[in-house]
Amino acid sequence: MSSTNASAYLQEALTILRENSFYRATIDWPTLEAQTWQQAEGAQQPEDVYPAIEFAIQQLNDGHSFFWPPAKVRAIQTGAEDSRNRQPTGCLIASDIAYLHVPDFMGSAAATPVYARTLQQIIAELDATGPAGWIVDLTDNTGGNLFPMIVGLGPLFDTEEIGAFIDANGTRIVWRYSAGQFIVGEGVCLAIAPPVVELQHRPARVAVLIGPSTGSSGEMVAVALRGQKHTRSFGQPTEGLTTANAPFDLSDGAQLLLTIAISADRTGQSYRTALLPDETIEGSAKTLQTAACAWLRHI
């Protein structure tokens, strides 16, 4: 590699991977780095190194880490891609069952609380009808930003502590939902301004719908509801990306979205791969909803 710019940039990325990757202790770093430098042979500028960085990420074997070039990062941060997001929706699918569709989300700082508040407002409107139970549909939630999903569903949680991340050292970093705030460890990840919705008809009976297109943050929402009383999941095994990614900025504005932890539910059960439903259901969305309704009415 002949360019100082490209060399420094690749070294920057490799250092981040080596110091932060969840499975870093199991990786043969001299071999990985030698192969990555070979991939970058002839690179002149940082952008010439992107394929080599993506190669190195693939060798981490976590199945979840990825790389965003500067243009992608800017598009997310400036809201240029906000229009691609779907908002949560909800309705009564029967006179006594409230249905919530909780889609994936990846948007700007301005769009994030909008998603959360929209979901809370839907819950408030449906709660006013006094439903016998709730269906939380995650079947096409492929992931993105977990924070607005948790805050949006906050009224349905029956306890403040709802899960945790477990890092490579075994440290448990607790997730909490409290009064419109999602708190991880000691840090507030997202907070919406009052008024914050509180469920009037408790306890909430919750059926969670999951499947192979439930991934990443979508899976973590399901994890947050695991172990809650009067809660059961229906469907098929999820995608298997139950690990946590964190962003690491590179000097040209690109980001490494790097797996740094696994998830755990409130009971302490940890997850590295797919979530299995409590009740396996094959068939259409209607079939899942019918099974969920039957359970909600008879628990």
Q: pLDDT of 108-126, one tens digit each?
A: 999 999 999 999 999 999 9
Q: What is the pLDDT of residue 3?
A: 62
- Give the Cα separation of 259 and 247 in Å (integer): 9
Share of the chain above pLDDT 70, in %: 99
Q: What is the pLDDT of residue 78?
A: 97
The structure tokens listed for 71 are 């243009």
- Give the Cα separation of 85 and 141 in Å (integer): 11
pLDDT tens digits along 33-89: 999 999 999 999 999 999 999 999 999 999 999 999 999 999 999 999 999 999 999
Residues 258-262 have a mean pLDDT of: 97
Residues 267-289 have a mean pLDDT of: 95
pLDDT tens digits along 224-241: 999 999 999 999 999 999
Q: Is the pLDDT of residue 99 over 90?
A: yes
Torsion of CA 42, 47, 51, 57, to 10 degrees: 120
- Give the Cα separation of 171 and 154 in Å (integer): 25
DSSP state of 239: -
Q: What is the pLDDT of residue 2?
A: 45
Q: What is the DSSP code string of 171-236?
A: -EEEEEEETTEEEETTEEEEE-PSP----SS-SPPEEEEE-TT--THHHHHHHHHTT-TTEEEEES
Start-end of H helices in the chain = 4-20, 29-39, 46-58, 70-78, 111-127, 146-153, 217-225, 285-298
Q: What is the pLDDT of residue 23?
A: 96
* Mean pLDDT value across the chain: 96
pLDDT tens digits along 133-190: 999 999 999 999 999 999 999 999 999 999 999 999 999 999 999 999 999 999 999 9
Kindly report the pTM of this predicted structure: 0.95
Q: What is the pLDDT of residue 177?
A: 98
Residues 6+ apart with CB under 8 A from 223: 163, 242, 263, 264, 265, 271, 275
Q: Are strands 206-210 and 231-235 parallel, antiparallel or unpaired?
A: parallel
Share of the chain above pLDDT 90, in %: 96
Sequence letter at residue 166: I
Q: Is the pLDDT of residue 297 over 80?
A: yes
- Give the Cα separation of 278 and 182 in Å (integer): 26
Sequence letter at residue 194: P
Q: What is the pLDDT of residue 202?
A: 87
Start-end of H helices in 226-284 = none
- Quick one: pLDDT band at residue 1, thresholds 50, 70, 90? very low
CA angle 135, 173, 68 (to 5 degrees): 80
Q: What residue has token string 């490579």?
A: 168
The structure tokens listed for 245 are 């990614």
